[in-house]
Amino acid sequence: MFSFQVTPEQKLAREMARKFMRQEVEPHVDKLDNHEMPPYDLIRRFLKEVQGADEIKNLGDLEAAAAEQDFITRALVSIEVAKVCPAFALSLGASLELAGFALLYAGSREQKERYAVPIFRGDSFGAWGLTEPEAGSDVQGMKSTAARDGDSYVLNGAKTFITNAPYADTLVVYAKAPAGITAFVLERGMKGLSTGKPLDKMGMRGSPTGEIFMEDLRVPASQRLGEEGKGFYYALANLNHERAHTPCLMIGIMERCLEDAAAYAKTRVQFGRPIIQFQGVQFMLGRMWEKLLGSYAHLWMLGQMHEQGLDIAAAASAAKLYSTECATAVALDAIQILGGYGYMREYKVERFMRDAKLMEIGAGTSQIQLLILARMLMKDPPADLNPLFAGPDPFGKK
């Protein structure tokens, strides 16, 4: 049963993440945002110094560590990361929660030992390649192919907008095989595999995003992830997992923007008094707080459903939809409260707004989340509207 009592262990995990991010990452955020340095050395240090990744020696250690860390602990850590640098959280999450999760969910024991363990130790980094130039929301429309040739597959196609692609060591990609969409795990350096330069983005600039190219890329069948034709099912499991954790990034953005806006409003004097004394500013801060609390409510509900092994598909879509739109709105309000200073890069809130906007697009656009929710209501019989009476998670509790 979920409790609002935070354990000493959870408090410690939160404080360790907060201290590292404020002391070790905050001084480099502008360099990350300006593409002057990639985040991976800092991420590696975070995993080893904060998460204790060096204790993961083998698959048994990894599985034990995953079983010990509960949903709320991971959420509290992610929030502290995003309060300093959402882009850092994005690259970290893409490696662990996307590529790493995909490997743990569908990989063979050998694949987990060879690829997942190094990723979770921070010794290598992962990317998860689903989106294509002509197939974003329409996953079934992907053009990448995996032709069977004896004991191998020959992959051809391209992926785009892939977090960590320019630097990742391990890439989980999806392509259409004879039996349908199929997942594969690839290694940088394979003949026929290449990646493009980091794309120049509006936000999340500290998290390198790029393209993956497969040209007559021959891989043995042992590089297939799970069963042939089950890739779409695996991708849905990954997307549910990603959407369930998206509110953490958004809450981090909202908390930082609210803190910065309130602090500024207390010191900015206009017409002879601090602007926080004006009702218009107070109303804006109140609305920002309301959006933050609502996003926390979504996150905690997801945590309880996850612990009970319930189907989180609809709840994760709703939480992702709500928190991402709220984070963009809160960041815009923070800019408004800071006025001209909010528009300047020196005051940081403009970066949080740019970072927040991406998450209304990635992991399924807001419109896709609305379609998912509407289809739940269109079922015959209709879906139970109370999420706590949802059925068991079809993907299993992970």
**Cα 21–Cα 100–Cα 298 angle in degrees, nearest 5:** 65
Contacts (Cβ under 8 Å, ≥6 apart) of 78:
89, 93, 245, 248, 249, 252
Are 47 and 53 in contact by the 8 Å Cβ rule? The answer is: yes
Beta strands, E only, 263-329: 269-270, 273-274
Are 316 and 243 in contact by the 8 Å Cβ rule? The answer is: yes
Q: Pick the closest to residue 322 from 300, 298, 306 (CA basis).
A: 298
Q: Could you tell me the two tokens for 376?
A: 């739940």
Choose, from 80, 97, 242, 360, the residue flagged as catalytic: 242
**Residue whose tokens read 């656009």:** 365
SS3 call for 99? helix
**Cα 213–Cα 217–Cα 221 angle in degrees, nearest 5:** 125
Say whether 242 is catalytic.
Answer: yes
Q: Could you tell me the two tokens for 123?
A: 């010794």
Count CB neighbours of 28 within 10 A. Answer: 17
SS3 call for 176? strand
Q: What's phi and psi for 142, nearest 5 deg? A: -60, 145
Contacts (Cβ under 8 Å, ≥6 apart) of 244:
302, 306, 312, 315, 316, 319, 320
Are 168 and 206 in contact by the 8 Å Cβ rule? The answer is: no
Beta strands, E only, 42-144: 126-129
Catalytic residues: 242
